[in-house]
Amino acid sequence: MLRDCSCRGMHRRAFLADLGMGFTGLALGALLAQEGIVRGGSVTGHVPPDGKPHFPPKAKSVIWLFMNGGVSHLESFDPKPMLNKYAGKTISETPYKDVQDPEKLKLARVVVVNDANGQQRNRLYPLQVGFKKRGKAGIEISDWFPHIGECSEDLAVIRSMYTTDDNHGAQTQFHSGRHMLDGEFPTLGAWVHYGLGTLNKNLPQFISMGRREYWNAKDGHYLGPQHDAVPLRIDPNNPLDFGKPERPTSRDEQRIGFDLVDRLNQLRAVEYPDDPALTARIRSYELAFRMQTSIPDILNFSQETEETRKLYGLDEAPTREFGMQLLAARRLVERGVRFIQIQHGAGGAGVWDAHGGLRTNHANNARAVDKPIAGLLKDLKRLGLLKETIVLFATEFGRTPGSQGSDGRDHHIYGFSVWMAGGGIKGGIVHGATDEIGFHAEEHRHYVTDIHATILHQLGLDSRRLEIPGRKRLDIDHGKVITQILA
C-alpha cells in the first residue's frame, strides 16, 4: 500500500538540532509531533499536523467503550411500551406497518447475501426488562443498568443512531465510518493520534484493550501503522507485546544496551547525516524503553484504595475483567493518554449478539459492564477528570423490535442508542428519538461519523484539515457535530 505520510522533507535544521542532544535530551520538544515516521510515496504541499489542536479544545482524552455484538437499544436506553402492547402481533397488524416501507429498508448495504441473520423480524417481541426514571436527570434506563442510571445527570443519551452494514462489519464501520465493502480506513482513534500531540512522552497516545478478533485489528491503515493503537492486555505479568525481555535480563543490563544502541546510532549519523529514519529510530527507542516501565506501572492497581477498587467492581468475578480495564483507562487518562479504545466481549461476533436467549444474555453482559462503567464515571468526576475526558458508550447496531426464534432479537441498523458523557458534553439529556416501536431513528438522525465529528470537535480538531492528499474523504466521512449535546 502506498503510504502518503512522508517525512522525506523533514527539516534539516530540526534534524541537526536533535543530534548530539543525547538520549534523554532528545525527547520533549521533538517528540511532540509523532514518535514515528513512514516513508513511501512522496507528497508535495501537504503539511502534516503539528500536534496542536486547530481551535481551543474542550476535552483532552477519550475513553471509547464499545460493546461487541449489538446491544438491544430496546432493553437498555430506549424504552418502547408499544412493544408490550402489541407483543406477538406482526408489524403489519399494528399501526406502525409503514416502518417496513421498502424505500426506508434500502438503507441496509448487504455484505453476506442471504445470511440467516440481519433479516426482517416481523413479530413484535415484548420488552424483556423493566425501565425506571433514574438518577437526578430522571432519564429512563432499563433495570439492567441501575448503576449507569445513577449517573444520568452526566449522560447525553442519543437514541437516533443508524448504520448501514447489517452484519458485524458494522463494528468496523462504527470505528472507521466506512462500510466494510469500501475497504479499510483509519479509525477515529488513529485520526486523533495523527492529529494531536502527546501529553506524556512515556506512554503511547492511543491504546486499545479487549479482544478485537472479529473486525480488523488495525487502526492506522493509510495513515500508517504508527497510528495503530498499542494493544494493552490487563495482565500485569504481560501487559505489552514484547514488553519485557523474554529471557531474564536485569534492568541495568538492558539500560546499558539501550544507551549503547543510542550512542551507536548517533555515531552513525556522522557517516549518514541527514537521515530522518535514523532520527526517528533513535526516538522510537527512547519511548520503547520508557514503555517497559510506564505500562506495567499503569497496571499497578495496588496504588488504588480498596474503595476505588470496589467502585469498579474488582472485588466481584462478573465485573472484575471489565472493571480492571476501566480502572486502567482512568489511570491512563490521568497520565495524559489521548485515546483509549476498549472492546467489551469479543469472541465470535461479540457477546451481546443475542439472536436467542436475549434475557439471560443481556442480563449477564450488563451485569459485567454496568457497575464498572458507573464506577469510571464517578471516579473521573470526583477527580475532576470528567470535565476533560469524553466517555462514549457505543455498539455496532441495535436489535430488532421483532423476535428472532422464540427469545432473541436480530441485528437492527435503522435505529439504536449510544451515549456520551464528560468532555464538554451536556449531561442529563436525551437527544433524538426512534419511532414508537424503536424501528427507525426519526428525530435528529445520526450516522456513526456524527459521533466522530462531535468527539473531534471537542478535542479541537477539524477533520477536513487532517485530510491527506490523494486520500479523498467524503462528506459522510467527516460527519456533523451534534451541537445540541454540547454544553
Q: 3-state class of 160 per DSSP?
A: strand
Over its C-alpha atoms, the chain yields an Rg (Å, rounded) of: 24
Instruction: Dig out the grid coordinates for 343 from the structure.
Output: 472492546
Q: Which of residues 318-347 bind another protein (CB under 8 A)?
A: none
Give the interface segment with another protein, choosing from 52-60, 68-76, 135-143, 241-249 (CB under 8 A). Answer: 241-249
User: Which amino acid appears at position 402 of this protein?
Assistant: G
Residue 22 binds another protein, judged by CB under 8 A: no
Residue 280 binds another protein, judged by CB under 8 A: yes
Rounded distance, CA 213 to CA 198, Å? 28
Give the nearer residue to another protein in terms of CB position, either 33 or 383.
33
If 0-12 CB within 10 Å is exposed, 13-18 middle and 19+ buried, where does residue 207 land?
Answer: buried
Closest alpha carbon to 111 in 25, 181, 51, 58: 181
Rounded distance, CA 456 to CA 478, Å? 10
Give the interface segment with another protein, choosing from 50-58, 125-133, 253-261, 309-317 (CB under 8 A). Answer: 253-261
Give the nearer residue to another protein in terms of CB position, either 12 or 133.
12
Give the shortest CB-61-to-another protein separation in angstroms.
Answer: 20
Give the nearer residue to another protein in terms of CB position, either 122 or 265.
265
Q: Which of residues 38-67 bind another protein (CB under 8 A)?
A: 38-42
Give the shortest CB-476-to-another protein separation in angstroms.
Answer: 12
Give the nearer residue to another protein in terms of CB position, either 29 or 273.
273
Q: Which of residues 67-106 bind another protein (CB under 8 A)?
A: 106
Give the interface segment with another protein, choosing from 65-73, 88-96, 254-262, 418-426 (CB under 8 A). Answer: 254-262
Give the interface segment with another protein, choosing from 33-41, 139-147, 334-342, 430-438 (CB under 8 A). Answer: 33-41
Pairing of strands 441-443, 433-434: antiparallel
Segment (H or E) for 339: strand 339-344
Interface mask (CB under 8 A) for another protein, residues 182-201, using x and -?
A: -xx-----------------
404 forms beta bridges with 408
Give the nearer residue to another protein in terms of CB position, either 271 or 307.
271
231 forms beta bridges with 208
How far is residue 159 CA from its own chain's centroid?
19
Residue 119 binds another protein, judged by CB under 8 A: no
Interface mask (CB under 8 A) for another protein, residues 281-300, using x and -?
A: xx-xx-xxx-xx--------
Contact status, residue 142 vs residue 399, Cβ threshold 8 Å: no
Give the nearer residue to another protein in terms of CB position, either 38 or 340.
38
Q: Please provide residue 265's backbone torsions phi and psi, each rounded to the nearest 5 degrees.
A: -65, -40
Rounded distance, CA 365 to CA 72, Å? 12
**Cell 503539511 maps to which residue?**
47
Rounded distance, CA 290 to CA 294, Å? 6
Q: Which of residues 199-228 bind another protein (CB under 8 A)?
A: 204, 213, 224-226
User: Which amino acid appears at position 315 of this protein?
Assistant: D
Instruction: Dig out the grid coordinates for 13 from the structure.
Output: 535544521
Rounded distance, CA 215 to CA 413, Å? 17
Give the interface segment with another protein, choosing from 107-115, 141-149, 369-377, 410-418 (CB under 8 A). Answer: 107-115
Q: Which of residues 256-275 bind another protein (CB under 8 A)?
A: 256-261, 263-265, 267-268, 270-275
Give the nearer residue to another protein in terms of CB position, either 206 or 393.
206
Give the nearer residue to another protein in terms of CB position, either 79 or 239.
239
Q: Which of 47, 56, 102, 250 binds another protein (CB under 8 A)?
A: 250
Give the shortest CB-48-to-another protein separation in angstroms.
Answer: 14
Rounded distance, CA 193 to CA 206, Å? 6
Residue 406 binds another protein, judged by CB under 8 A: no
Q: 3-state class of 123 per DSSP?
A: strand
- Whole-angstrom CA distances from 74 to 78, 92, 262, 325 are 5, 20, 57, 27
Residue 237 binds another protein, judged by CB under 8 A: no
With CB under 8 A as the rule, give the number of residues binding another protein.
74
